[in-house]
Amino acid sequence: MAEKPLDIQRLERYSSMQTEYTLAIITDEDHASEVELEDGQTAWKSTLRFDKLYREIDPDTGKAFYRLEEIPEEQGGEHHLISLIAEGGRGAEFSELVQFGERLVTFDDRTGLVCEIRNDNQLVPRHILMTGSGDEKFKGFKSEWATLKGDEMIVGSHGKNAKEEWIKVLSRNYGLESINWHNHYQRIRDALNVGDQGYVTHEAAEWHPYRNCWLFFPRKISQTPFEEAIDEKERGGNTLIIANADFTDIKTLEIGQRMPERGVSSFKLIPGRTDECIGLKSVEIGDRTETYLFCFDLEGNVLQDDTLIGRYKCEGVEIL
C-alpha cells in the first residue's frame, strides 16, 4: 500500500476526537535578535515557545471554542535558538514553522536559511534560498509563508514586488525548484480590488489537500501605495482568500472584526479538524511589537478571540 503524501499525513496525525494540542511558536525579532555569546562571538537569537491549546464545547450554546494555556518556561515552555549565520548584520529572523514529515522546519526571512529544529533548541541548516529566481542576486530569499502540498514544501514571500512573487519548491530531500507566481499573486490582488496603486502583503498560507484549494490570509491590504507609517497602523486585514488549485476561481471570506494594526503572520489547519484553523496576528509599530493568537473556521466563525501571547513578534506557529 502506497504511503500517503506528507500533506495528508500531517493532517491525519490526530483524529476528530482530539481536544488537546501542543503548539510551537517562533519569534522574528528583527534587530533585537542580535546577541553576544559568552565567548564574545556575535550571534543571532530566536525564541521557540510551546503552549497548550484545548478545544472545548460551550455547554450553553453547544458551539466549539479554543482555549490557550501557556507552558511555563521552567517546565520547558521556552527555548532559545542560536544562529551564527547572518546577512547584513541580521539573522535568526524566523518567519514560519512547518512539520515536514518527521522534521520541524523554520525559515529565516533575512538570510534565506532553511533549518531543522532538533531537541527544542538546536538549529540544523539544510538549505539557503536565494531571492527571486535564485540566479539574480546574492541575497537571501525573504521567506514569509510555507505549507506542504503533496510531498513537497512550498515556500513563498510577501508578493509585493517581482522578486517576492517567486516561490520555492522543496522536495523531501531538499531538492529545489524556483517558480514565478506573478499571475497567482495578481489574481489575488484582483480579487481584493486593490488596483494598480495598491498592494497586498502575504505572510500566511496553507494548501488544503482535502478541498484541493489554496488558503491565503494576507497580513496587509491597501488600495493606495505603500507608506510605512500608514501601513503599520491601518492596513491589517481580516480577509481570507480561498482559491482553486490554479487561482482561476477565488472567493473571499471575512474572519471576525478587522483590527487595523493587527495582521495575520501565520496560520495552520488543525489536524483531525481541517475546517478549523489556528493563527497568529502581529503588531509592528515602530519599536512596539505584539503577537496575538486566534482560532477560526472556514465558514468564517471565530473560535477564539485575539489573545495576547507576548509583547514581541512571532511569525510562525505549528501544531506538533
Could you give the 3-state DSSP secondary structure of residue 12?
coil
d(CA 139, CA 130): 6
Looking at residue 29, its pLDDT comes to 77
Looking at residue 31, its pLDDT comes to 74
d(CA 279, CA 206): 11
Q: Is 199 exposed, middle or buried (0-12, 13-18, 19+ CB in 10 A)?
A: buried
Cα dist from 197 to 44, 161, 174, 185, 190, whole Å: 36, 12, 37, 15, 12
Helices (H), the chain: 6-11, 182-191, 228-234
Per-residue pLDDT band at 277 (split at 50, 70, 90): very high
Per-residue pLDDT band at 79 (split at 50, 70, 90): very high
Could you give the 3-state DSSP secondary structure of residue 202?
coil
Q: What share of the chain is helix, strand, coil (3-state, %, to 5)?
A: 10, 50, 40
Average pLDDT score over residue span 23-50: 91
Per-residue pLDDT band at 49 (split at 50, 70, 90): very high
Average pLDDT score over residue span 247-257: 98
d(CA 315, CA 282): 7
Mean pLDDT of the chain: 96
Average pLDDT score over residue span 256-276: 97
Which of the residue ranges 7-11, 29-33, 47-51 would you say has the lowest mean pLDDT?
Answer: 29-33
Task: Decide if 30 contacts 313 (C-beta within 8 A).
Answer: yes
To which residue does cell 496603486 refer?
Answer: 197
Q: Which residues contact 317 (CB under 8 A, 6 or more apart)?
A: 23, 24, 25, 26, 97, 266, 267, 268, 278, 279, 280, 293
Q: Give the other-Cβ count within 10 Å of 27's Cβ.
A: 26
To which residue does cell 489574481 refer?
Answer: 187
Domain boundaries, the chain: 6-319
Q: Which amino acid is at 76?
A: G
Average pLDDT score over residue span 163-191: 98
d(CA 297, CA 66): 11
d(CA 250, CA 272): 25
Question: pTM of whole model > 0.85?
Answer: yes
Q: Which CATH class is domain 6-319?
A: mainly beta
